[in-house]
Structure 1
């Protein structure tokens, strides 16, 4: 039996991510099976993969680490070959200190590996840039929040575990101020507005839906018209909540889908915008983030201008 108490460095981490980090040699499928079959407990109670850990929580895991490591590893759990090397000079760093980095992520670069993504991620570039300094005190530099693969703009990277704990707290409860620029279909009905519309939890499991129904989460997006034509509008958006694809889902819900959005957008509009204005990507750019610094809570503001390919689209659309 493995038993230990959660320390401050792990506060706010999801249980499943914590177990994968603590026991990297145990097959992922086996970890989830153990959670499902109640062999992992938090404070003596049945655990859920997505639950957030709290300082002082007591984790108990049935079995020894040696036994768990020897669990049969299916082909799908075998580690993939290492990704090809990346050129860290391509990384655009907006600010850096001993605690964090702010990076200007280009559209098309995934933040993490995932389905069909094996390399060339932001994580790969950051760790190649930092080299041996990427890992400190058993913590490896990691992105502190999400940014969709096709979205460009500012993303924060924690270089130390206390920084990640700080960012986990503010992104979960404090909601740092983030501002995006996006091009949407149609003429907006007024100069500014608020979309206050709950969104279904994006990663809710089928088991969870069957047990308690669709989990609706509070979501608030504020928008303001920057430039307007009869066909499209350039908006500045701020989000008070951080739901997956929030801006894209909210804008399509009010009848103004984001240009170039292949998942939620208007496909005929996307084809027209690509042919006439040359838009080949999602028109969504994270231009600004404001947050308290993890060292002393001083206010930090990081901005990055709209990339040239989006400016060119606006020129062709007579919006710049």
Structure 2
């Protein structure tokens, strides 16, 4: 746990800007997630990204200094090498305006650096595409949420600070309507269903576990069969909560792991479908998102179809 008091030279600074300055190695989207999940508090109360700090405010951050500020720093004093150049023409943009972008992220592309990933991220592509316009009023365009590296599909990018604040609010309180397509093992017992199963907090520290036990978080996933065979089912899934790996963890918990899932899946099945159907990745695709626009609240719907490598798998599996 990090706790400190705001000094005179920080008075009047926005909370999100202060956190970015103090923790430059933490992705912007993660800082906003920490705020919305109450891991950042001001004077013991829930914080807001846009709130202005006052002298004497006590800022509390869940996590350790090493985890949040040192983990991604280079071990030597030499500056890290620049990330390899990316070709912004490869970026598939589904929607763009002055406030935001919706991008079709391919499988295999990480959203942020970290865990051995040093370049070629969605952040790199977005900022290369925007060029000098990537930064505005001390805010640099950043993804407003995450998708697993191996998951493809729609992801939202905030181009302005008010857009990021807006997305943080709706992900916290309104949760945008997201729909995924997943190919899972076996035959489903009925046409649709709900998985209401709490999940252990994915980023809980060992210290926290030892002090208060495993923190279980409410999680709800709704699924509907789109196509079914004796071996596998193509499901349309919507989530009412946004837990890490929620769909993957929920489906394996009910005995229908996502095909191609190297972390939670059926490894023998993964080898078999790779050989027979040519599936070389996780079969999970974020096909649709619905949300209020950050400028005026109007409803926006963005969709993207399954990529060709997944439609080819469905054809070989006799599901298309």
TM range, smaller chain: 0.7 to 0.9
Aligned mates of 1:63, 1:191 — CA distance in 2: 43
Kept after mapping to 1: 8 A contact 2:107/2:152: yes
Distance apart, 1:49 and its partner CA: 15
The superposition leaves residues 259-278 of structure 1 with CA deviations (integer Å, 9 ceiling, x where unpaired) of 00000000001011101000
Kept after mapping to 2: 8 A contact 1:28/1:77: no
Kept after mapping to 2: 8 A contact 1:27/1:71: no
Kept after mapping to 2: 8 A contact 1:9/1:162: no
> Aligned in 2, Cα 1:317/1:130: closer, same or farther, shift over 3 Å?
same
Aligned mates of 2:244, 2:66 — CA distance in 1: 37
The superposition leaves residues 160-208 of structure 1 with CA deviations (integer Å, 9 ceiling, x where unpaired) of 0000000011111211000000100000000000000000000000011
Q: TM-score, normalised by structure 2?
A: 0.82
Distance apart, 1:24 and its partner CA: 3.7
Aligned mates of 1:3, 1:22 — CA distance in 2: 13
Deviates more, 1:227-236 or 1:30-39: 30-39
Distance apart, 1:81 and its partner CA: 1.5
SS at match of 2:76: helix
> Aligned in 2, Cα 1:97/1:318: closer, same or farther, shift over 3 Å?
same
Kept after mapping to 2: 8 A contact 1:181/1:237: yes
1:40 paired to 2:40: yes
Kept after mapping to 2: 8 A contact 1:12/1:168: no
Aligned residues: 320
SS at match of 1:38: coil
Kept after mapping to 2: 8 A contact 1:26/1:70: no
Kept after mapping to 2: 8 A contact 1:186/1:231: yes
Aligned mates of 2:21, 2:291 — CA distance in 1: 27
The superposition leaves residues 216-249 of structure 1 with CA deviations (integer Å, 9 ceiling, x where unpaired) of 0000000000000000000000000000000000
Distance apart, 1:47 and its partner CA: 12
Distance apart, 1:70 and its partner CA: 14
> Aligned in 2, Cα 1:202/1:18: closer, same or farther, shift over 3 Å?
farther
CA RMSD of aligned residues (A): 6.5
Aligned mates of 1:200, 1:182 — CA distance in 2: 22
Kept after mapping to 2: 8 A contact 1:9/1:165: no
> Aligned in 2, Cα 1:278/1:9: closer, same or farther, shift over 3 Å?
farther
> Aligned in 2, Cα 1:162/1:271: closer, same or farther, shift over 3 Å?
same
Deviates more, 1:32-41 or 1:179-188: 32-41
Deviates more, 1:40-49 or 1:142-151: 40-49
Kept after mapping to 1: 8 A contact 2:11/2:55: yes
> Aligned in 2, Cα 1:287/1:28: closer, same or farther, shift over 3 Å?
closer
Distance apart, 1:282 and its partner CA: 0.1
The superposition leaves residues 277-300 of structure 1 with CA deviations (integer Å, 9 ceiling, x where unpaired) of 000000000000000001111000
Kept after mapping to 1: 8 A contact 2:25/2:72: no
> Aligned in 2, Cα 1:278/1:20: closer, same or farther, shift over 3 Å?
same
Kept after mapping to 2: 8 A contact 1:9/1:161: no
> Aligned in 2, Cα 1:290/1:57: closer, same or farther, shift over 3 Å?
farther
Aligned mates of 1:119, 1:55 — CA distance in 2: 39
Aligned mates of 1:63, 1:234 — CA distance in 2: 39
Kept after mapping to 2: 8 A contact 1:279/1:313: yes
Aligned mates of 1:247, 1:3 — CA distance in 2: 34
Distance apart, 1:99 and its partner CA: 0.4
State the match for 1:125 in structure 2. 125
Kept after mapping to 1: 8 A contact 2:176/2:291: yes
Aligned mates of 1:140, 1:100 — CA distance in 2: 12
Aligned mates of 2:174, 2:33 — CA distance in 1: 33
Kept after mapping to 2: 8 A contact 1:6/1:58: yes
Deviates more, 1:296-305 or 1:17-26: 17-26
Distance apart, 1:3 and its partner CA: 12
Q: Gaps (5+ residues) in structure 1?
A: none
